[in-house]
Amino acid sequence: MKKLTLLTAGIAVCSASMAFANDDLMTQMDNSAQWAIQTGDYKNQRYSELTEINAENVGDLQVAWTFSTGVLRGHEGSPLVIGDMMYVHTPFPNIVYALNLADEGKIVWKYEPKQDPDVIPVMCCDTVNRGVAYANGKIFLHQADTKVVALDANTGDVVWEVQNGDAAIGETNTATVLPVKDKIIVGISGGEFGVRGSVTAYNMETGEQEWRAYSMGPDSDILVDPVNTTHLGQPVGENSGTNTWEGDQWMIGGGTTWGWYSADMDENLFYYGTGNPSTWNPAQRPGDNRWSMTIMARDIDTGVAKWFYQMTPHDEWDFDGINEMILSEQTIDGQERKLLTHFDRNGLGYTMDRVTGELLVAEKFDPAVNWTTGVDMDPASDTYGRPAVVAQYSTEQNGEDVNSTGICPAALGSKDQQPAAYSPKTELMYVPTNHVCMDYEPFRVSYTAGQPYVGATLAMYPAPDSHGGMGNFIAWDNTTGEIKWSLPEQFSVWSGALATAGDVVFYGTLEGYLKAVHAETGEELYKFKTPSGIIGNVMTYEQGGKQYIGILSGVGGWAGIGLAAGLTNPNDGLGAVGGYAALSDYTALGGQLTVFALPN
């Protein structure tokens, strides 16, 4: 009997520690002195309650200290701060540093994984990594080669590791992971290599795989309930992940999952978006290509989908749907609702009821967007929820080997992964955007495993008849779908924003500026030029009773590739060639953390 009691006690302890795993991170996130998750919190609001640095005094900001990461590549994501420790990650080779903030940033441990450099060229668009995650005394690193590693947060020792994908067929990783409940939920990259996207849950303590949900394929692969999983309120039905594809194209169908993840613990749901269908040549994949380009709400425990919403059926422009899903509680049309707001690559800002998947708002967040006249919002209509495609800008209708010109936005979208922030105080979304258009010529390609599978020629240029720049930083009202203010930027804004209770919003620019603007008016309050272009996300924390602002510099990513030499508009004729700003005239490769504070 004694033995049995012990066994029962053991089970009780185990389940207690599983529950603790989630509670621990939730407690850490609630402490505004810390930055415990890349997205600020499970809601992806990127909002801090700290007010020591505010609209009145942010103009006095100074550099407090700096740290070189030792890597010269695109630095996305941000450091984490838990207790006295700061965790800084780098692009490939994905080094992790633990710095003791109570001891002048001394390096407590450094972890450098050994990865085959052959993964580098299969990472479309630079070897970026959007940062580590923390939960239950462990740091989670998802490497470029898709190995997921759990490290002891105090020592850097490996607790477990698991291989999520295969770089030899183009499966790579750039994203952070979502630690939630007793799981680590991870995505995958490789849409330009014909990878079939999936999300996978691993046990937080052991690394054991618990479930995997593909973006397309048979129902058993995509984890749907044909009756209870809905699309705009209707059951998705059987075979929804194969019956809008021709033949076996879904097997190399893309819909990768390299963006940000949010979670609603009360609903037990997590949210993310899927990427472009493969290839970029729409003629090679007739049909809606479900469930690429889709907002997904799935059960945390089982992975089974509650609802989907496909934003861009049958993509013709590479408008990946992976951007973050920002959760908020707001009043819309006089009704308090649990909302999900998403700024898509396709240039539309969507506001949805995140419990039911009902579409509430779909409006352009850049006036330049021209490929669609808007989304059909009539639930009674046959085309409910579909964007109306303008024939002139349809690369499908214009056909293979035809150059469709003047499409806005460009393939990199009106906004890419660079996450927006939400202030519950102002009830505004602060959105880093691209203001770039393109010519797009699709043509036939053949698939070879592990080789690029693109099938289109692109030329990109600043939005015509506008301010000439390639970006805007905007404030957006997600309940009405209106731009409140818009700040023109010379280059695409490729940095994640931070909003604070001090009425300040921070973001970085590709030239390397950290900027602070007023949350109500957008008035510029401060700027400082860091050593390299910024594609990282602004974070804040408190140490020793003092508030700090941190940002990674290190130009790269899609922006560094596309904008380094400056853009040209082939339609402007020869005279205008080279007329646009080249990023290489403003900044060079780097890898540095810059931390700001008010003077003592």
Please report, as ranges, the residues that interact with other proteins according to CB under 8 A.
71-74, 92-93, 117-118, 120-122, 124-127, 192, 403, 439, 441, 443-446, 448, 451-452, 454-460, 555-556, 560-562, 564-570, 574, 577-578, 583-584, 589
CB of 393 to other proteins, least distance (A): 17
If the CB atoms of residues 74 and 387 are measured against other proteins, the closer one turns out to be 74
Q: How far is CA 31 from the centre of its chain?
A: 23
The conformational region for residue 424 under phi > 0 = left, psi -120 to 50 = alpha, else beta, is alpha
CB of 51 to other proteins, least distance (A): 37
Set 288, 315, 318, 344: catalytic member? 318
If the CB atoms of residues 122 and 483 are measured against other proteins, the closer one turns out to be 122
CB of 92 to other proteins, least distance (A): 6
E-assigned strands of 253-371? 262-264, 269-273, 294-299, 305-310, 325-332, 335-343, 348-353, 358-364
Contacts of 302 (CB under 8 A, 6+ apart): 211, 223
CB 510 within 8 A of CB 534: yes
Backbone angles phi, psi at 524, to 5 degrees: -75, 125
**Distances from the Cα of 45 to the Cα of 185, 260, 423, 428, 505, angstroms:** 19, 12, 7, 11, 12
Contacts of 137 (CB under 8 A, 6+ apart): 24, 152, 153, 154
CB of 320 to other proteins, least distance (A): 14
SS3 content of the chain, % helix, strand, coil (to 5): 15, 35, 50
CB of 462 to other proteins, least distance (A): 14
Look up residue 181 and give its DSSP letter: T
If the CB atoms of residues 192 and 344 are measured against other proteins, the closer one turns out to be 192
If the CB atoms of residues 14 and 577 are measured against other proteins, the closer one turns out to be 577
CB 408 within 8 A of CB 370: yes
- Active-site residue, 318 included: yes
CB of 439 to other proteins, least distance (A): 7
Distance from C-alpha of 545 to C-alpha of 531, rounded to nearest angstrom = 28
Handedness of CA 464, 467, 469, 470 (dihedral sign): negative
Handedness of CA 452, 456, 459, 464 (dihedral sign): negative
If the CB atoms of residues 110 and 444 are measured against other proteins, the closer one turns out to be 444
If the CB atoms of residues 95 and 359 are measured against other proteins, the closer one turns out to be 95
The catalytic residues are 318
